[in-house]
Amino acid sequence: MTHLTEDAHGVYVIAVTPFLPDGGLDLESTDRMVDFYLETGATGLTVLGMMGEAPKLTIEESRIVVRRILARVAGRVPVVVGVSAPGLAQIQALSTAVMDDGAAGVMIAPPGNLHTDDQIVSYYHQAAHFIGDTPFVLQDFPLATGVHMSVPVIKRIIEDLPGCVCLKHEDWPGLEKISALRAEGAVSRRISVLCGNGGLFLPEEMARGADGAMTGFGYPEMMVDVVRHHRAGTPDRGQDIFDAYLPLARYELQPGAGLAVRKYVLAKRGVIAHATLRRPGAAITDAARAEVDRLIERQEKRLKEIG
């Protein structure tokens, strides 16, 4: 398997974990989901992300899901696997296992007890030592991790650690951070910047110098289109499409509740068989379902209008 590199671009969809109504793994839906993401134009997949439901899996289940996805992808696109854990020994063990299974790289979020610039840089030095030459994605998501990485911190990690090939950019607000990293001479090595937050700022992020998205949304084709039109020099067309999906994207970005919405949308679209969330995790209510249905109806109408 080829490794993840600084050239990563496009849309790395953060995969959901499909469950059966009783909470068991739904591996058939997992296959169908992989097919769907790739047909939609995903240039990569990211599994076992920090949010989502990966933390609800047992270690054995995590391995099963990763292997199933890797087998179905069959090398067509790179697969990044989240390996964040409280200890470096665990990160090392997980990283070795998934790279052996065929992953293209790993993603590491900072543990919540890191505060100062030096503490953050030092942690990634240690992590990089433990995972050896495995390429890794630096996850910058303060709202979820509580860890705030300044631009100088990210620069130091890029300069010091060649394994850091990609930044999953999910600070909010974070546009100025992209501009600072992309400024002339900011860093001696250009790494990939893929953005999160459900794509809610993707048009501006692309214009600031991002290479694409690494996040989830019930309609990943929106992100694929925004990235494609940006690269094709037709960003306004991309924004028209973005605007059409925005009412739903906004609705799906509600913290916590959003995952139930995303699974409901994927189930409604026939991608996964059940919208089930594993416990603890609240199901979508009737009222929310009706709101989503209405937003989708309006979205389809608007998409037709803009052709």
| Minimum separation from the CB atom of position 115 to a second copy (A) | 3
Residue numbers 183-222 binding a second copy by CB under 8 A? 200-201, 204, 207-208
* Amino acid (1-letter code) at residue 162: P
Detail the residues annotated as belonging to a binding site for pyruvate. 214
Among the listed residues 203, 196, 193, 197, the one whose alpha carbon sits nearest the alpha carbon of residue 229: 203
Q: At CA 251, angle to CA 249 and CA 254, rounded to 5?
A: 105
- Should residue 293 be labelled a site residue for a second copy when binding is judged by CB under 8 A? no
Q: Where does the chain have alpha helices with state H?
A: 27-40, 59-73, 88-101, 117-131, 142-145, 151-160, 175-182, 202-208, 220-231, 235-252, 257-268, 286-305
Helix (H) or strand (E) holding 139: strand 136-140
Residue numbers 124-163 binding a second copy by CB under 8 A? 126, 130, 142, 148-150, 152-153
Of the listed pieces 48-56, 69-77, 155-163, 222-230, which binds a second copy according to CB under 8 A?
A: 48-56
- According to CB under 8 A, which one of 7, 35, 118, 300 is a site residue for a second copy? 118
Tokens of 21: 């109504």
- Should residue 5 be labelled a site residue for a second copy when binding is judged by CB under 8 A? no
Whole-angstrom Cα distance, residue 12 to residue 88? 25
- Spell out, one character per residue from 21 to 40, where the chain touches a second copy: x when CB under 8 A holds, - when not: --x-----------------
Q: Are strands 44-47 and 164-169 parallel, antiparallel or unpaired?
A: unpaired
- Give the residues lining the site for a second copy (CB under 8 A): 23, 53, 55-61, 85-90, 93, 111, 113, 115-119, 122-123, 126, 130, 142, 148-150, 152-153, 172-173, 175-176, 179, 200-201, 204, 207-208, 236, 239, 242-243, 246-247, 250-251, 254-258, 278-280, 285, 287-288, 291, 298, 302
